[in-house]
Amino acid sequence: MSEVIDVSKLDRNFKYQVINEPGGEGLLSCFACGTCAASCPVREVDERFNPRKLIRMVILGMKDEVLQNEFIYLCSGCYLCQERCPQDVGITELMTALRNIAVKEGYLHPSFKAQLEFVYGLGRLYELTEFDNKKRAKNGLPELTPVVDEVKTLLKEAGLSKFVEVEE
């Protein structure tokens, strides 16, 4: 990134918002050594995803750029960076914290929204159709049924029903 950062557009409180979010506590320990970027299997295939750069952006207060960009969703959650980080920043957890903040700010990635709809509506990520259960029976496996009500109740308790457009 070669463009100049406009200091007036930075949100200096963003870093405090992040360290107060579960998973974000280690943010300020980062001394930018780059072990995370060197370990990252996603960065190996897509240069746009760079955990070190992302951490600097968060600390600088580039809130909009961080939360509106695709790359906080590109972390595959493999924990290699987290294992190797000499400062215990907890980078994988930090990615979860950033995603959770994005949701609190009103943005839910379409992929996660789709998953939420399934879990909310079925209690599972995949629908178990009659066909699936027939196949299961053929393979000598027990029948499975959806577990809806209790999961739905809990997701409502957690305040997530507002993101789910399906009936209700």
**Residue 148 tokens, joined:** 């809806």
Displacement of CA 96 from its chain's centroid (Å): 4
CB of 130 to another protein, least distance (A): 13
Q: Which residues are near another protein by CB under 8 A?
A: 22-23, 41-42, 44-46, 49, 70, 73-80, 82-83, 92, 96-97, 99-100, 103, 108-109, 111-112, 114-116, 118-119, 123-126, 128, 132, 135-136, 139-142, 144-145, 147, 150-151, 153-155, 157-160, 163
Rounded CA separation 38/61 (Å): 24
Q: Which run of H or of E encompasses 97?
A: helix 91-104
CB of 10 to another protein, least distance (A): 25
CB of 58 to another protein, least distance (A): 17
Rounded CA separation 89/104 (Å): 22
CB of 67 to another protein, least distance (A): 13
- Taking the least distance from each CB to another protein, the nearer of 9 and 104 is 104
Q: Shortest CA distance to 47 belongs to which of 76, 71, 81, 77?
A: 71
